[in-house]
Amino acid sequence: MTPDDFDFLMREDFAPDIHATNFSTGTQLYGFTLDSRSFHVYVHGGHLHRFVYYKRDGHPTDIEYTHGRSFKPSQLVPDRWVSPERTSLVMGRLLREAGIEVPYAPYDMARYAAVQHQVFHGLVHTEGAQPFPGHTDELPVFPPEGTR
């Protein structure tokens, strides 16, 4: 291949897009970035939403928000860690099939018990970025204090 071909090969993401139609409404993946922002991927209104934010005094700040009918798999995973209890099986499977290494935290039954009946596990981007009903902030902290 030519040098240009090689450059193209190295910078393009050839994995198939992940589409909103693969999921039901709700959180599909939740985790944190290296700069400690929440990273929430959810489906609502027929779109995938990626909402990355700090939470200060109950309100999101430093917001990075985008939505669409599909995303490249690499756009849907944060760079620090992902809560497996707040990730759908479908999302986990699609990311694995796309060859994406998801930085899962160890599975925690207390976190699972706190979120198992919720549809949304983090803030969502609406007017004022308020949580949907069923959201709770009463979740065990991970990683545990002193291990960060």
Per the listing, tokens 């669409």 go with 68
For the stretch 98-108, pLDDT in tens is 989 999 999 99
Per DSSP, 99 falls in state T
Any domain includes 1: no
For the stretch 128-146, pLDDT in tens is 444 444 444 333 333 334 4
Band of residue 56 on the pLDDT scale cut at 50, 70, 90? confident
Any domain includes 147: no
Domain count for the chain: 1
Any domain includes 93: yes
Tell me how far apart the alpha carbons of residues 144 and 148 are, in angstroms, rounded to a whole number. 7
Any domain includes 82: yes
Any domain includes 74: yes
Q: Distances in Å between the alpha carbon of 116 and those of 24, 27, 120, 145?
A: 15, 11, 10, 23
Q: Is the pTM of this model over 0.85?
A: no
Instruction: Write down the pLDDT at residue 48.
Output: 95
Q: Distances in Å between the alpha carbon of 88 and those of 12, 26, 41, 52, 95?
A: 26, 9, 10, 18, 11
Q: Which domain holds residue 33?
A: 16-129
The arithmetic mean of pLDDT across residues 67-93, rounded, is 95
Tell me how far apart the alpha carbons of residues 145 and 77 are, in angstroms, rounded to a whole number. 23
Percent of the chain with pLDDT strictly greater than 70: 83
β pairing state of 18-19 and 38-44: unpaired
Which tokens sit at 143?
Answer: 């990683």
Any domain includes 3: no
Any domain includes 6: no
Instruction: Write down the pLDDT at residue 135.
Output: 43
Any domain includes 138: no
Tell me how far apart the alpha carbons of residues 57 and 72 are, in angstroms, rounded to a whole number. 32
DSSP 3-state assignment of 25?
coil
Q: Where are the alpha helices (DSSP H) in the chain?
A: 3-11, 89-97, 109-115
